[in-house]
Amino acid sequence: MSTLIKVGIIGSGAMGAGIAQVVAQAGHPVCLLDQNHAALQRASTGISNNLRKLAEKGKLTAEEAEAAIARVKTCNDMQSFADCGLVIEAIVEDLAVKQSVFRDVEAMVSADCVLASNTSSLSIASIAAACQRPERFIGIHFFNPAPLMQLVEVIPAVQTRAGLAEEVRALVQSWGKLPVLCQDTPGFIVNRIARPYYGEAIRLLEEGVADAATIDWAMTELGGFRMGPFALMDFIGHDVNYRVTESVFTAFFFDPRFKPSFTQKRLFEAGYYGRKSGRGFYDYREGAVPPEPTRDPALGHQVLNRILAMLINEAVDALHLHVASKEDLELAMTKGVNYPKGLLRWADELGLPAVLQTLDALYEEYHEDRYRASPLLRRLVKAEQTFFQRESVGSH
């Protein structure tokens, strides 16, 4: 794939506009398409403002900013994609809509134009199936906001031609991003492995082990996470977070490890989406007093160890099932959701037998499949192995 190909982007919402900015900054001519003229104008103004702000902060020169702005052209019909080498779709998470869009796109582009979806939850194979030439189709999943978040998941479908994933990975890297390669499985890497951060936290709340403020305190103060699970769900919005959990659960043939909770479903149904609506797990309305956590180290460590064991188990299982390489799994969780450490290294640090013991004790207590330990974790404990070789003391 030649480096400075023209890139078409479908959808000028937050994701589409963010991707357009990234690609234009990297030197590509960009064609940003949206049927909604007002949205397109907002996106164009937003991109220009963002690039000029970067110049004011000294992150770009004024000339670089203006050149990047000039590279973004807005368009309202697909004929403008005729000379594109890559087209990325960033529209509503609806399979039928995406398939219909790619059928139209394929009629307009050249035979060697690569087609990509920024979907976060749909199967790449199912979108590619709508194309006449599915071998040129791939998933390129950015995280919001695209200009700031370094991680990009690159997901070949079962139909994707050999070698395309590596070409796309190199291209994404040339944009200053950190691409990881992963299998076309539900949630890809990040949205799959991160599920227990929310699910197990809610389970602890429902059982009355600790309240939301205490669980958030344990994860941030003792665990080093940037945001606690309840503050994070409220920040993402339950309309988004609950739907992702539900779609991952359904896509995994109702595996109990991904089971959504009634507690979050009720917030979603009530329209208590979190910060954006003024209420979620916390009250964000004017005059509301945030609850104080119970700063009990023993309770805090009980909470942290249980959620952490579940997260680690999910990462281990993703490795066991070859969803991604060890290195890409670690990179995805530290750069995609800003975890303080990669979960496999964290497992080594805690000691794999200790993690397995936590999971087995939970399984023994609940007899629920959600607490089943990954076979790979059990195997490594038996063989007295770790995920990464321990560096010998004094080595450089």
The reply to whether 354 and 208 lie within a common domain is: yes
- Identify the pLDDT of residue 1: 65
The reply to whether 274 and 157 lie within a common domain is: no
Judge whether 310 lies within some domain.
Answer: yes
Q: Is the pLDDT of residue 393 over 50?
A: no
CA-CA distances (angstroms) from residue 219 to 18, 189, 199, 364? Answer: 30, 21, 14, 25
Judge whether 104 lies within some domain.
Answer: yes
Q: What is the DSSP letter of 279?
A: B
Work out the average pLDDT over 369-392. 91
Q: At what angle do helices 297-320 and 326-336 cross, to 10 degrees?
A: 130
Among residues 12, 118, 123, 153, which one is catalytic?
Answer: 153
**Is 120 assigned a catalytic role?**
yes
- Pick the last residue of a domain from 160, 184, 208: 184
**Is 153 assigned a catalytic role?**
yes
Give percent of the chain with pLDDT exceeding 70: 98
The reply to whether 135 and 236 lie within a common domain is: no
- Identify the pLDDT of residue 391: 52
Q: How far apart are CA 365 and CA 371, in angstroms?
A: 10
Six-digit token pair at 304?
């942290």
- Pick the last residue of a domain from 184, 213, 236: 184
pLDDT of 71-86, one tens digit each? 999 998 999 999 999 9
For residue 259, give every residue at least 6 positions away whose Cβ sits within 8 Å of its Cβ, in sequence order, or none: 199, 249, 370
Range of the domain at 58: 7-184
pLDDT of 301-328, one tens digit each? 999 999 999 999 999 999 999 999 999 9
Q: Is the pLDDT of residue 390 over 90?
A: no
Q: What is the CATH number of the domain that holds 172?
A: 3.40.50.720
Confidence (pTM): 0.94
Work out the average pLDDT over 247-259. 95
Among residues 50, 117, 118, 120, which one is catalytic?
Answer: 120
Q: What is the CATH number of the domain that holds 222?
A: 1.10.1040.50
pLDDT of 269-302, one tens digit each? 999 999 999 999 999 999 999 999 999 999 999 9
- Identify the pLDDT of residue 76: 85
- Identify the pLDDT of residue 396: 43
Among residues 28, 118, 141, 314, which one is catalytic?
Answer: 141
- Identify the pLDDT of residue 204: 98
Among residues 121, 123, 191, 313, which one is catalytic?
Answer: 191
pLDDT band at 17 (very low <50, low <70, confident <90, very high): very high
